[in-house]
A and B are shown apart, each in its own frame.
Chain A
Amino acid sequence: MWKKWLLRALALALAFALFSGLGMLMKKGVAEKYVFTKALSEEETIVVGDLSKQLLPKKLLQPGYLDFTSGHRGGITNDTGKAVKLQVVADGSPYDVELKSTSPGFDALTGVYGRAVEDGAQVTFEALVRIPRGELKNASGQEIVVHFLNADTGENISDLVLRIA
């Protein structure tokens, strides 16, 4: 009987070690997602998407589809001292770029956020970049600039630079 329990305990410990190892590998995979935070008072924020850090599964299946994200819960902070109606616009991209946000009322077509962002409040932002497989070799050094504009006046508040390395 005790042998049975010992074997079970060993299997449990082995599973714990195995899945913890897998969790470490998964953590490395997270580096394939380029997570950043940004304050609107910063004139420019640079986020580097390093293609060389991709693991084999990503390299084989989807090496040119990149995700730059501020996360699910915010990440873009309005610290300008006043409420602002935000609009995001991608500029100078040689690749297909999709701008997204989970913040309520975001219009993906115009890039305008549904509600004015109060001072101190946060919104989310995500840019999905598609680099065709054939252009991956020459992608290093390319930059995509995302302008954060005042949607009412068109004034450029801040820039986010997505740099491919």
Chain B
Amino acid sequence: MKKTTKLLIKRAIGYIIGLVLFFAPFGLYQRGLMALLGEHGNPDIHKVCYTMSIQSLLTGGLAKYSLGVALVSLYLLMIVTVFFGPVFCGRLCPVGALPEYLSRIMPEKLKLKLKDKVNPTPIRYGFLIAFAAAPLLGTSLTCTFCGFSFMQRLLNIPTVGNIGVLLSSTIITGILWLIIGGLFNAGGRGWCNYCCPVGAFQSLIHAVCARLPFTFKLKIDRDKCKACGLCAAACPMGSLKLEGGELHRNIHSCMECGYCKGLCPTGALSYGTGRDGWNDSMISIKKKETADEKA
């Protein structure tokens, strides 16, 4: 079996675990937490609802929340992100994984190269600001524009027998999430890159906390990197780029999925604590080649 296939299967296992943990009819995470907190309700993704609690946190409305599944989940997400980066996105979230894996069945020539053409950083933070400001502006970007909710609808089909009532907003969300951002987009992570407040929120935390020595992050050993570009070509978020013969990473869109680390033929990429090495002085390819030749 090819290395890429192995890695994709390994990652898929994580996303399936995420699906079983967070989405009905399974919702093992919610069931466990509800039992622990003595809470009742439907163990679907709405019980956790990261989007509403993040919006409440950003707008100062979190005080209205009682300590329940949603609030505990938000705190857990934040703690995990502080120490390990946005691993919820990269290793567990099936909402991002579904369009990514769908996009792999589409021929490359039919796909938009959004991640190469539109820098996701200002867009996703612009979205996060619009999302946080929505209650003040009287707009709606939570339940009406939610990939998590759409995923839950898809999973309800086998148990309920239909996808439920679709509003225009739900239909637009589905098209952006699965079709434009997924199926017809290189990497399939258009929704994650531009439209997911949960991802943007984690990236913001990670961009700050990755500077701390005790937190986990994607690291590079410039001495080992041969700038082959294998990782950059494969990165579903487009956060790795080969520019001027050197590998660069955009921490604001990296979801710490570990795909690049697994693909790296020289072991230059790793995930751990300490300095990340991305800002280390670059060893130019020419110098490297000369050194290789001499050796």
B46–chain A nearest beta-carbon distance, Å: 7
Contact with B along A18-34 (1 / 0, CB 8 A): 11101111111110110
A44–chain B nearest beta-carbon distance, Å: 24
Q: How far is the CA of A26 from the CA of B169 in the complex (A)?
A: 5
Chain A CB within 10 Å, residue with most, of B41, B123, B168, B194: B168
Contact with A along B125-138 (1 / 0, CB 8 A): 11101110110011
Would A25 and B169 count as touching, CB distance under 8 A? yes
Interface residue A8 (Cβ < 8 Å from any Cβ of B): yes
Are A23 and B126 also in contact (CB < 8 A) when A55-B168, A67-B165, A102-B41 are? no
Interface residue B121 (Cβ < 8 Å from any Cβ of A): yes
Q: How far is the CA of A72 from the CA of B52 in the complex (A)?
A: 13
Would A15 and B168 count as touching, CB distance under 8 A? no
Q: How far is the CA of A72 from the CA of B45 in the complex (A)?
A: 13
Chain A CB within 10 Å, residue with most, of B41, B169, B172: B169
B157–chain A nearest beta-carbon distance, Å: 14
Interface residue A14 (Cβ < 8 Å from any Cβ of B): yes
Interface residue A62 (Cβ < 8 Å from any Cβ of B): yes
Contact with B along A30-57 (1 / 0, CB 8 A): 1011000000000000000000001111
Interface residue A95 (Cβ < 8 Å from any Cβ of B): no
Would A128 and B165 count as touching, CB distance under 8 A? yes
Q: Of all chain B residues, which has the CB nearest A9? A: B122
Would A11 and B140 count as touching, CB distance under 8 A? no
Q: How far is the CA of A128 from the CA of B169 in the complex (A)?
A: 18
Interface residue A61 (Cβ < 8 Å from any Cβ of B): yes
Residues of A within 8 A of B131 (CB): 19
Would A26 and B138 count as touching, CB distance under 8 A? no
Q: How far is the CA of A124 from the CA of B126 in the complex (A)?
A: 35
Would B122 and A22 count as touching, CB distance under 8 A? no
Would B126 and A15 count as touching, CB distance under 8 A? yes
Q: How far is the CA of A152 from the CA of B256 in the complex (A)?
A: 57
Chain B residues 100-139 with CB under 8 Å of chain A are: 119, 121-127, 129-131, 133-134, 137-139
Residues of A within 8 A of B126 (CB): 11-16, 18-19
Interface residue A141 (Cβ < 8 Å from any Cβ of B): no
Would B134 and A11 count as touching, CB distance under 8 A? no
Would A23 and B145 count as touching, CB distance under 8 A? yes
Among A14, A18, A20, A62, point to the contact of B166 (Cβ < 8 A).
A62
Among A19, A27, A29, A54, point to the contact of B130 (Cβ < 8 A).
A19
Q: Of all chain B residues, which has the CB nearest A104? A: B40
Q: How far is the CA of A14 from the CA of B171 in the complex (A)?
A: 24
Q: How far is the CA of A57 from the CA of B126 in the complex (A)?
A: 26
Cβ-Cβ contact count across A and B, 8 Å cutoff? 111
- In which size bucket is the chain A interface? 35 or more
Would B129 and A24 count as touching, CB distance under 8 A? no
Contact with B along A80-105 (1 / 0, CB 8 A): 00000000000000000000001010
Interface residue B42 (Cβ < 8 Å from any Cβ of A): yes
Among B119, B124, B138, B169, point to the contact of A29 (Cβ < 8 A).
B169
Residues of B within 8 A of A16 (CB): 126-127, 129-130, 133
Would A15 and B42 count as touching, CB distance under 8 A? no
Are A15 and B165 also in contact (CB < 8 A) when A26-B141, A30-B140, A61-B171 are? no
Residues of A within 8 A of B134 (CB): 20, 23
Would A72 and B172 count as touching, CB distance under 8 A? no
Q: How far is the CA of A104 from the CA of B39 in the complex (A)?
A: 11
Would B42 and A27 count as touching, CB distance under 8 A? no
Residues of B within 8 A of A55 (CB): 168
Would B122 and A58 count as touching, CB distance under 8 A? no
Interface residue B144 (Cβ < 8 Å from any Cβ of A): yes
Would B140 and A66 count as touching, CB distance under 8 A? no
Would A8 and B119 count as touching, CB distance under 8 A? yes
Residues of A within 8 A of B41 (CB): 102, 104
Would B166 and A15 count as touching, CB distance under 8 A? no
Interface residue B167 (Cβ < 8 Å from any Cβ of A): yes
Residues of A within 8 A of B130 (CB): 15-20, 23
Residues of A within 8 A of B137 (CB): 20, 23
Q: Pick 10 A–B contacts, CB within 8 A, sort by A.
A: A16-B126, A18-B130, A20-B133, A22-B141, A26-B144, A26-B169, A27-B144, A29-B170, A58-B168, A62-B166
Interface residues of B (CB under 8 A from A): 40-42, 46, 119, 121-127, 129-131, 133-134, 137-141, 144-145, 165-172, 194-195
